[in-house]
């Protein structure tokens, strides 16, 4: 039995994942604390907790004192770049408290990441190719089969309940949201886009039939501007800027028969009229007939047929690695490693895209699978239980960021209740 630890949970997935994980850790003999900073937190976490109702300026002293007073050994959270979390992580590091960040996995669809300190630029995973090869040499392959299905319905309902609750100033009058957009128009826009998926898919199918297999194309994988991967781990203030850079370079340097497909994120709220914006950029560069907006489309098919994929730091890049598609990462991404991504810039990516080294790519995928991930989901059973049990195993045994191999069932080791 591991020595008892003292866990502090801050904001996590808007799901039962953190409450269930905390309950399991308590049953295993550990001590659990929770701080709520908004009304949405109280909806997610029904167990006893401390409510912080002060101003953000008061948070540094509050969290530092809390960590010391309760002898916290572990801080657990999602979204290490959220304003409250950045401050908490700095205080934890100063106090020698271990920090674990979780999020959707770099691998999809039924993987969850658990990392020390943070993701992308903050990740402790090695960036040196030789170190990756050495680290992964005895690890098993990444399983291709999907074990667990998640629930988009649960995700959407719980997400709306959380963010709409936070519109109320009671009982947290000074809470500062990490959202860029007001949730009401964002939800309405996302809902409208989802209703239009079939029409957008027909448009994509017609476009691909028109381009044909003979014409080369490149894919730009958009991300949501609310994603902290854009705000914290790139030089871009928005998505317009990298799209504009990419289209300008494409117009100047791509073969005249080439096409550029700009695929929107599936959950983009549509608050920016991306079809018009991208069309305007393309017209200004004189390539309106060769740059296309995609509102929907089969990612694997698009990547498999593409000459290359441009992204800022999307997990689409990891999927491109799995499919052997050349990648250009414009931001700080976990996979921005020599031998995995294109070594040049945008201008030469159109004429000589460098494919990922297959041996290094396989080592990288094995490494992140067994060092950084657990199998499971946030929003539906049985994946939720699998994720909770595997996360508890890593947390209580000090195995976050260390290799944990699958058991005979193909999942990470599980704990009995």
CA 104/CA 106 separation, integer angstroms: 7
Q: Which residues pair with 112 in a beta bridge?
A: 104, 374
Mean pLDDT for the stretch of residues 35-39:
98
* 170 lies in some domain: no
**H or E stretch including 327?**
strand 327-329
Total of domains in the chain: 2
* 162 lies in some domain: no
pTM (two decimals): 0.95
Query: Which residues, 6 or more positions from 246, have their beta carbon under 8 angstroms from its beta carbon?
Result: 220, 260, 310, 330, 346
Same domain, 341 and 387: no
Same domain, 91 and 11: yes
Same domain, 44 and 93: yes
**Assigned token pair, 354:** 């460098």
Same domain, 271 and 356: yes
* 173 lies in some domain: no
What are the pLDDT digits (tens) for 183-236? 999 999 999 999 999 999 999 999 999 987 779 999 999 999 988 889 899 999
Give the per-residue pLDDT at 228: 85
pLDDT of 27 above 70: yes
pLDDT of 411 above 70: no
74 or 409, greater pLDDT: 74
What are the pLDDT digits (tens) for 257-303? 999 999 999 999 999 999 999 999 999 999 999 999 999 999 999 99
Give the per-residue pLDDT at 1: 66
* 163 lies in some domain: no
**Assigned token pair, 334:** 């976990």
What are the pLDDT digits (tens) for 101-133? 999 999 999 999 999 999 999 999 999 999 999
Same domain, 226 and 269: yes
Is 115 within 8 Å of 98 (Cβ atoms)?
A: no
Same domain, 97 and 139: yes
Give the per-residue pLDDT at 207: 94
Same domain, 375 and 353: no
Which CATH number do you get for residue 33?
3.40.50.20
Q: Within 10 Å of residue 128's Cβ, how many Cβ atoms?
A: 11
* 197 lies in some domain: no
Same domain, 272 and 324: yes
- The mean pLDDT of the chain is 95
Three-class SS state of 398: coil
pLDDT of 83 above 70: yes
Q: Is the dihedral of CA 335, 340, 341, 343 positive or negative?
A: positive
What are the pLDDT digits (tens) for 128-177? 999 999 999 999 999 999 999 999 999 999 999 999 999 999 999 999 99
* 177 lies in some domain: no
CA 89/CA 116 separation, integer angstroms: 11
Same domain, 213 and 355: yes
Name the pLDDT band for 42 (thresholds 50, 70, 90): very high
Give the per-residue pLDDT at 114: 97
* 161 lies in some domain: no
Same domain, 280 and 314: yes
Query: Which residues, 6 or more positions from 341, have their beta carbon under 8 angstroms from its beta carbon?
Result: 317, 327, 328, 329, 333, 335, 354, 356
Distance between first and last Cα of the chain = 14
CA 273/CA 270 separation, integer angstroms: 6
Q: Can you give the residue range of the structural domain that contains 41?
A: 6-151+369-396
Mean pLDDT for the stretch of residues 245-266:
97
Same domain, 330 and 390: no
* 171 lies in some domain: no
Which CATH number do you get for residue 287?
3.40.50
Q: Radius of gyration over alpha carbons of the chain, in Å?
A: 22
φ, ψ at 206 (rounded to 5°):
-65, -40
Is 259 within 8 Å of 291 (Cβ atoms)?
A: yes
Give the per-residue pLDDT at 147: 95
Same domain, 213 and 274: yes
């Amino acid at each position: 039995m591991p020595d008892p630890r003292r866990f502090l949970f801050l904001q996590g997935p808007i799901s039962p994942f953190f409450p269930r994980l905390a309950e399991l850790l308590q049953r295993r003999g550990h001590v659990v604390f929770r701080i709520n900073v908004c009304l949405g937190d109280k909806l997610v976490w029904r167990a006893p907790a401390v409510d912080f109702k002060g101003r953000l300026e008061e948070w540094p002293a509050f969290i530092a004192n809390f960590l010391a007073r309760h002898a916290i050994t572990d801080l657990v959270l999602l979204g290490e770049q959220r304003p409250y979390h950045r401050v908490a992580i700095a205080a934890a590091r100063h106090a020698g408290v271990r920090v674990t960040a979780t999020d959707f996995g770099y691998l999809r669809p039924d993987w969850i990441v658990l990392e020390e300190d943070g993701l992308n630029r903050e990740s402790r995973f090695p960036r040196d190719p030789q170190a990756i090869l050495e680290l992964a040499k005895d690890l098993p392959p990444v399983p291709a089969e999907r074990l667990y299905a998640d629930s988009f319905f649960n995700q959407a309902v719980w997400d709306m309940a959380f963010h709409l609750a936070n519109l109320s100033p009671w009982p947290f009058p000074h809470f500062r949201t990490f959202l860029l957009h007001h949730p009401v128009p964002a939800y309405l826009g996302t809902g409208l886009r989802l209703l239009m998926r079939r029409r957008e898919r027909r448009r994509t199918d017609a476009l691909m039939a028109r381009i044909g297999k003979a014409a080369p194309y490149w894919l730009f994988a958009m991300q949501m501007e609310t994603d902290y991967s854009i705000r914290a781990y790139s030089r871009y203030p928005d998505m317009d800027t990298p799209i504009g850079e990419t289209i300008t370079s494409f117009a100047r340097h791509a073969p005249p028969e080439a096409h550029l497909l700009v695929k929107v994120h599936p959950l983009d709220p549509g608050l920016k009229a991306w079809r018009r914006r991208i069309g305007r950029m393309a017209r200004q560069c004189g390539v309106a007939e060769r740059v296309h907006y995609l509102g929907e489309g089969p990612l694997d098919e698009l990547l498999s047929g593409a000459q290359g994929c441009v992204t800022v730091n999307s997990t689409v890049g990891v999927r491109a690695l799995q499919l052997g598609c050349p990648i250009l990462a414009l931001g700080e991404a976990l996979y921005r490693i020599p031998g995995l991504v294109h070594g040049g810039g945008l201008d030469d990516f159109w004429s000589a895209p460098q494919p990922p080294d297959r041996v290094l790519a396989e080592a990288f995928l094995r490494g992140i699978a067994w060092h950084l991930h657990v199998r499971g989901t946030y929003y539906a059973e049985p994946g939720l239980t699998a994720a909770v049990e595997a996360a508890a195993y890593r947390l209580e045994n000090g195995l976050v960021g260390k290799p944990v191999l699958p058991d005979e069932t193909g999942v990470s080791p599980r704990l009995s209740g």
